[in-house]
Structure 1
């Protein structure tokens, strides 16, 4: 059965935000005299706000974790307002799919208002028929809720959707929803588990052949940088 809709993750897949937020965590921790390893921040990639809070609370205690998170988000929000860079090939892929009439949606663990601001400031909000965020569901990734709701809003059965994700949490969420998924890892390499659930490619341009196969479409050749 061919697919007919595509659901995208946002951070680390379309928007090159993971490096920005990692720098914010680092800088805020240093400013607050906290000696924390990068492995902590990397373990939070793809994790929703509640999961990050639980992780930090367990490590630092609620008061210090709250202070760290508040200041990090303040710094990050200032950068978001200026617009974050897109991942290589993101705009071109979105434009090609949009021009072919493929229904597109976002399924992100980011909260509603912030997700929409990120998409708007990055100039890609107009491509999506629906944006589903962690504000819309009870359980964020790796639960399937975000993807199931995105498929429902697109009015396309999950089995006829394709997802693109950068993290294991996202791959697990899409697979649990019964959606075919391609992983494009960002800062954290693909795990054995995610490789068992999805084909893994190094960049969005390299995801095009699999998308063409599953969607039964022909995409334009990506332009060389």
Structure 2
């Protein structure tokens, strides 16, 4: 996930819903038909209770995929999780700092952080005359140009995992440290706009990742307790942010900028297709150890 910036609040909540079909009884002698179809009330209750105790589903839940009862929402990071946008930020950095040469070892510690520390480091490291504010603006414009040159395809399994969360009746959110001027064009370029109940960007909080503020704000918008949320992250800063918010954290290492496995993640996967929403760690069993920080 790329270094980012904060601006005045902006969000994009949405919602989805569904209808439940009613079962029709035969028209002829409806009361008699109902009595023939249903077992005695006491026997029915005992049968359902025995089925649930044995690990089965309640009849009203048949046909609906199962998920941990403690999980109510899945919140995705954007850059490095749903799209592999890091090469885009890398190209923008090279254009901005030319003719100076930026190495990957120098760049990686700033992945997932705010823009200003990155620009302050570059100004001192390369001896640039422009102020941090001027460099921040130029970097923002360079990244925007890269996004608009799109398309930016979603990573394999991104659409499917979002759909799987929807099928389980979970809230779906997006929590990106990127500025809104990058987030919404990126979602459009990836064909993912309109996929989320709430969108939180770096513009919406004062303290950037690795502070937990952005994930706590997303949980509030979704109306879900942080402990009932699963966060899908990629960067050390993002993993720490979600873990310190009290969420179950899945670290995806699918993008080209994949970080080393973080100690704050409760599950580390090589692909979004490896995320099984029916077999997630329970929040009560999760260990929210603080990760070591950026590589």
Range class of TM-score, shorter chain: 0.7 to 0.9
TM-score by length of 1: 0.83
Distance 1:59 1:188 in 2: 25
Root mean square deviation, CA, Å: 2.3
Q: Is the 8 A contact 1:98 1:127 kept in 2?
A: no
Choose between structure 1 and 2: higher helix proportion: 1
Structure 1 runs of 4+ off > 6 angstroms? none
Distance 1:5 1:202 in 2: 21
Q: Is the 8 A contact 2:226 2:245 kept in 1?
A: yes
Structure possessing the higher radius of gyration over alpha carbons: 2
Distance 2:153 2:211 in 1: 28
Distance 2:141 2:201 in 1: 20
Pair 1:55 & 2:121 matched:
yes
Aligned pair partner of 2:279 in 210, 213, 219: 213
Match of 1:190 in 2: 260
Deviates most, 66-75 or 53-62: 66-75
- Per the alignment, in what secondary structure is the counterpart of residue 94 of structure 2? helix
Distance of aligned partners of 1:62 and 1:135 in 2 relative to their CA distance in 1, 3 Å threshold:
farther
Distance 2:142 2:175 in 1: 24
Distance 1:190 1:215 in 2: 20
Q: Give the unaligned 5+ runs of structure 2.
A: 1-68, 283-295
How far the C-alpha of 1:44 sits from its partner, in A, is 1.7
Q: Give the unaligned 5+ runs of structure 1.
A: 217-225
Distance 1:182 1:146 in 2: 17
Distance 1:6 1:51 in 2: 29
Superposition map of 1:158-177 within 5 A = 158-177=226-245
- Per the alignment, in what secondary structure is the counterpart of residue 142 of structure 1? coil
How far the C-alpha of 1:138 sits from its partner, in A, is 0.6
- Per the alignment, in what secondary structure is the counterpart of residue 33 of structure 1? coil
Superposition map of 1:58-97 within 5 A = 58-61=124-127, 63-64=129-130, 70-81=137-148, 82-97=150-165
Deviates most, 82-91 or 3-12: 82-91
Deviates most, 112-121 or 170-179: 112-121
TM-score by length of 2: 0.65
